[in-house]
Copies of this chain bind each other. A is one copy, B any other.
């Protein structure tokens, strides 16, 4: 998963790669992989098209690099669930972290949504491998808490799906949410207490 002993990058190389990935994130997250063009990415990065392809072998290469780079950050909050912490507080902390990520990083959320919708062509091995292990660990912790009577019993994996679905919905379906709520509403601010109440009621003993 880590660097395969790449030659070290010069400062300018690092900076341009970062510019390209940043621009590509904006473009891919709006139109998806097929909807994005290298021209748009180059424009967003402030570089010429051939120069983009000097740093990355292909459009596919950019996309794959983005996905794998961002996956760790995306899963970090779940890894931080502490088996020795207070059960309800650990879950609430995870929910809040996930909602905050949807608020701050909607582009990343949409990037992953596009990838999963398409059948996760670039992430298949990770879905059944690393991701599954991380979820298994979290599910085991939750199950232990439920067995000890410290959380109300629910299917732990579906509980996790519910957290993903409810928090990412505000990023992925933001247009719809805003259209329904109308002006003068901040979906993310309103979602905070709503989700807080929801998970306290489901998991409280």
For chain A, the bracket of interface size reads 35 or more
B114 touching A117, Cβ below 8 Å: yes
With known contacts A113-B117, A166-B166, A32–B30 Cβ distance under 8 A: no
User: In the complex, how many angstroms separate the beta carbon of A155 from the nearest chain B beta carbon?
Assistant: 5
A114 touching B32, Cβ below 8 Å: yes
Identical chains bound together, number: 2
Q: Which residues of B contact A135 (CB under 8 A)?
A: 180
Which one of A39-47, A88-96, A167-175 is at the interface?
A167-175
Q: How far is the CA of A113 from the CA of B190 in the complex (A)?
A: 22
Apart from A35-B35, A135-B180, A165-B165, 12 more pairs, CB < 8 Å: A30-B118, A32-B34, A33-B35, A113-B172, A127-B179, A131-B180, A132-B180, A154-B194, A155-B190, A157-B181, A162-B166, A165-B166
